[in-house]
Amino acid sequence: MADDNLDIKIKVATNFVDDQSDADLGRFVFAYTITIENIGEVSAKLLSRHWVITDANGKVQEVSGDGVVGKQPHLNPGETFRYSSGAVLDTPVGSMYGSYRMLTDNGADYDAPIAPFTLAVPGILH
């Protein structure tokens, strides 16, 4: 059951990691930084994550697990949590989307959606 007073805003910034990538081997490494902001009226804890990562060939990887980067941050109204992680693709372009499972302090479950975003080697897209 969702809590109408919980509102989580998620921002994403991505970077191509050239020095860890190798185009000849079909290895393209991307870093992303996520900022999670509680813009609602109730506190909540991030319990788990679910990602769907798709490369340009249509290969899909799904990643689920507890927390993010080994943490389960608790966000009071107005607080933010920022972390960085990465993804490895077989192609120079791909996309990701997903959700965070949140639990409010009053026991309500909430899936905070993460809108699709593009992972791309700089200059490859017009």
1 within domain boundaries = no
125 within domain boundaries = no
16 within domain boundaries = yes
Please give the tally of structural domains in the chain.
1
Q: Is the pLDDT of residue 56 over 90?
A: yes
Q: Where are the beta strands (DSSP E) in 1-126?
A: 8-16, 28-38, 44-55, 60-66, 74-75, 80-89, 93-104, 109-120
> Looking at residue 90, what is its pLDDT?
97
* Mean pLDDT value across residues 79-104: 97
pTM here is 0.91
What domain range is 39 assigned to?
Answer: 8-120
